Amino acid sequence: MSGPFQLPDLPYAYDALAPVISSDTVTLHHDKHHAAYYNALNGLVEGTAMAEMTLEEVVVKSGNDASLAKMFNQAGQAWNHIIYWEQMAPGGASTPSGKLAEMIDRDFGSFDEMKAQFVQTAVTTFGAGWAWLAMDGGKLELISSSNAGNPLAMGKTTLCGVDVWEHAYYLDYQNRRPDHVKAVLDSAVNWSYVGERLEDAL
Ligand code: MN
Q: What is the CATH number of the domain that holds 60?
A: 1.10.287.990
Can you give the pLDDT at residue 188?
A: 95
Interstrand relation of 139-146 and 157-163 (parallel, antiparallel or unpaired)? unpaired
Centre of ligand 1 to C-alpha 195, Å, is: 23
Q: Is the predicted pLDDT of residue 56 greater than 70, yes or no? A: yes
For 144-163, how does the pLDDT look when each residue is reduced to its tens digit (9 = 90+)? 999 999 999 999 999 999 99
CB 145 within 8 A of CB 130: yes
Centre of ligand 1 to C-alpha 198, Å, is: 23
| Domain contains 5 | no
Structural domain count, the chain: 2
74 with 147, same domain: the answer is no
| Domain contains 16 | no
Instruction: Measure the N-to-C terminal CA separation of the chain; round to a whole number of Å.
Output: 36
Centre of ligand 1 to C-alpha 138, Å, is: 28
Domain that holds residue 178: 98-201
Distance CA 27, CA 33 (A): 9
Centre of ligand 1 to C-alpha 32, Å, is: 10
Can you give the pLDDT at residue 2?
A: 63
Can you give the pLDDT at residue 52?
A: 94
Can you give the pLDDT at residue 148?
A: 97
CB 10 within 8 A of CB 177: no
Centre of ligand 1 to C-alpha 95, Å, is: 24
186 with 102, same domain: the answer is yes
32 with 120, same domain: the answer is no
Where does a domain end: 33, 65, 86?
A: 86
| Domain contains 68 | yes
104 with 125, same domain: the answer is yes
103 with 192, same domain: the answer is yes
Where does a domain end: 56, 86, 116?
A: 86
Mapping DSSP to helix (H, G, I), strand (E, B) and coil, where does residue 163 land? strand
Distance CA 121, CA 34 (A): 23
| Domain contains 70 | yes
Centre of ligand 1 to C-alpha 165, Å, is: 6
Centre of ligand 1 to C-alpha 169, Å, is: 9
Centre of ligand 1 to C-alpha 81, Å, is: 6
Can you give the pLDDT at residue 94?
A: 78
Query: What number of other Cβ atoms are within 10 A of residue 91's Cβ?
Result: 10
| Domain contains 17 | no
197 with 166, same domain: the answer is yes
The band of 80, judged by pLDDT with boundaries at 50, 70 and 90, is very high
Distance CA 78, CA 181 (A): 21
When the pLDDT of each residue in the chain is averaged and rounded to a whole number, the result is 95
Query: Is the omega angle on the peptide bond into residue 19 within 30 degrees of 0, that is, cis?
Result: yes
102 with 195, same domain: the answer is yes
Centre of ligand 1 to C-alpha 3, Å, is: 21
| Listed range (62-66, 112-116, 167-171) with the worst mean pLDDT | 167-171
Whole-prediction pTM value? 0.95
137 with 111, same domain: the answer is yes
Centre of ligand 1 to C-alpha 87, Å, is: 14
Q: What is the CATH number of the domain that holds 121?
A: 3.55.40.20
Can you give the pLDDT at residue 164?
A: 96
For 28-47, how does the pLDDT look when each residue is reduced to its tens digit (9 = 90+)? 999 999 999 999 999 999 99
